[in-house]
Copies of this chain bind each other. A is one copy, B any other.
């Protein structure tokens, strides 16, 4: 897999919810730290770079292991994420995301366009991919269900940000890292604001190799009737096989799919969910 853009984007100030509230927050922070390593990790490694003293960290790890959120190999002394998480995740995926509703629609879309399709939701200014359908020849690229990506240089990210209400958009934009992944990456907030305007006007967003060279995509937001952003849908291709012009031609069918998903999501008990992703963590406001 790629490098670690994750840290750049995820570690933005003003969003640090970790050690803010109580013991639980701290414990979850420890969990995140283990997750960040992406591999089984030993006590000492975890210790430096952690804001907790030895004994405290140790107790947290014990608790988390005992709770099944982490597993601990007595042999090597390594801590890894536990299976309880996988179980919880299944429930989370099934209940708090568009994925289960969208699944058949995405299948159909994927079959129709013959390219990779992504379903994403917004998570604190970042893009969370909740489902993906591969084209016949799978392209090696950065994305999978559960993965997070930057909001400012992906099609789905821009499509969602553009359709956020003023206040939420401002907050989300302020959380962007604006790291230059490729020469085409937009790194200037002012230019980004214009780009969002344009996207909102035309109703869909492009990613012109802004995140990965050779990868382009077109994305449309999934909007509730009230106009709140539920998620976004994108079709991706490589410059070798397709072009932005060709992708633009797919907008009608993608938009139709998005509309179908939105309708179904609303009709079948799905309140306003999405903006909550932001409200939930922002904490700042009223």
Q: Which B residues lie within 8 Å of A92 (CB)?
A: 35, 81-83, 85-86, 89
Which residues of the partner chain B approach A82 to less than 8 Å between Cβ atoms?
A: 92, 96, 277, 280
- CB of A24 within 8 Å of the partner chain: yes
Given contacts A63-B21, A71-B276, contact A88 B90 (CB under 8 A): no
Interface centre among A10, A67, A85, A94 (most CB of B within 10 A): A67
Out of B75, B96, B147, which one reaches A90, CB within 8 Å? B147
Q: Are A66 and B280 in contact (CB under 8 A)?
A: yes
Known contacts A10-B66, A86-B146, A95-B80: A73-B271 contact under CB 8 Å: yes
- Which chain A residues in 33-49 approach chain B with CB under 8 Å? 35-36, 38-40
- A88 in contact with B143 given A17-B67, A72-B280, A73-B276 (CB within 8 Å): no
Q: Is the CB of A25 within 8 A of B63?
A: yes
Chain A 132-154 per-residue mask, 1 if CB under 8 angstroms from chain B, else 0: 01100011111111111000000
B66 touches A271 (CB 8 A): no
| Minimum distance in angstroms from A243 CB to a CB of chain B | 26
A128 interface residue (CB < 8 Å to B): yes
Q: Decide if A39 touches B81 in the complex (CB within 8 Å).
A: no
Size of chain A's interface in residues, with CB distance under 8 A? 83
Cβ B69 vs Cβ A81 within 8 A: no
Q: Kindly list chain B residues whose C-beta atoms are within 8 Å of the C-beta of A99.
A: 142-143
Whether the Cβ atoms of A20 and B83 lie closer than 8 Å is no
Asked if A124 meets B68 with Cβ closer than 8 Å, knowing A95-B40, A142-B146, the reply is yes
- Asked if A2 CB lies within 8 Å of chain B CBs, one says no
A271 contact set on B, CB distance < 8 A: 40, 73, 75-76, 78
User: Is B103 in contact with A143, judged by CB distance below 8 angstroms?
Assistant: yes
User: Which residues of B are found within 8 Å of A97, using beta-carbon distances?
Assistant: 83, 86
Which of A82, A91, A277 gathers most chain B CB within 10 Å? Answer: A91
Does A197 reach chain B (CB closer than 8 Å)? no
CA separation between A32 and B84, bound complex, in Å? 10
Interface status of A272 (Cβ within 8 A of chain B): yes
Contacts known (A80-B96, A92-B83, A95-B80); A65 close to B24, Cβ less than 8 A = no
A64 to B10, CA, bound (A): 14
Contact of A108 with B by CB under 8 A: no
Give the top 5 A-B pairs by smallest Cβ distance, nearest first.
Answer: A90-B146, A89-B89, A81-B92, A85-B92, A35-B91
